[in-house]
Amino acid sequence: MVRTPLTPEERERGERLGKLLREARGGRSMTQIAASAGISAETLRKIETGRAPTPAFFTVAALAGALGLSMDELAGQCALAPL
């Protein structure tokens, strides 16, 4: 199966998600948050840096729970502004 290349908008949304997660993590270690979410620290690193701009829904949900964020809040802040 060949994956369709991401659009610039999808990449931007992934970078925005990564920034939000980094900010929400604050001074807590990447390892601590990743373990709380049940993912590897490398996966979290990729998401935070935008190298994994389209993480699975359940991954985002687990990170939101570990960081005390609501999915609605994340979706609203990652949505592209209407033209």
Answer for the pair 41, 31: CB distance below 8 angstroms, yes or no.
Answer: yes
**Where do the structural domains in the chain lie, given as residue ranges?**
8-77
* Helix, strand, coil percentages in the chain from 3-state DSSP, rounded to 5: 65, 0, 35
Q: Tell me the pLDDT tens digit for each residue of 37-65.
A: 999 999 999 999 989 989 999 999 999 99
For 8-77, give the CATH class.
mainly alpha
> What's the Cα-to-Cα distance from 8 to each of 14, 31, 59, rounded to whole Å?
10, 30, 22
Please tell me the predicted confidence (pLDDT) of residue 82.
56
Residue 80 pLDDT > 80: no
Closest C-alpha to 36, from 71, 66, 70: 66
Highest mean pLDDT, choosing among 4-18, 28-42, 63-77: 28-42
Reported as half-sphere exposure (CB side, CA atoms, 13 A), residue 74 has a value of 23
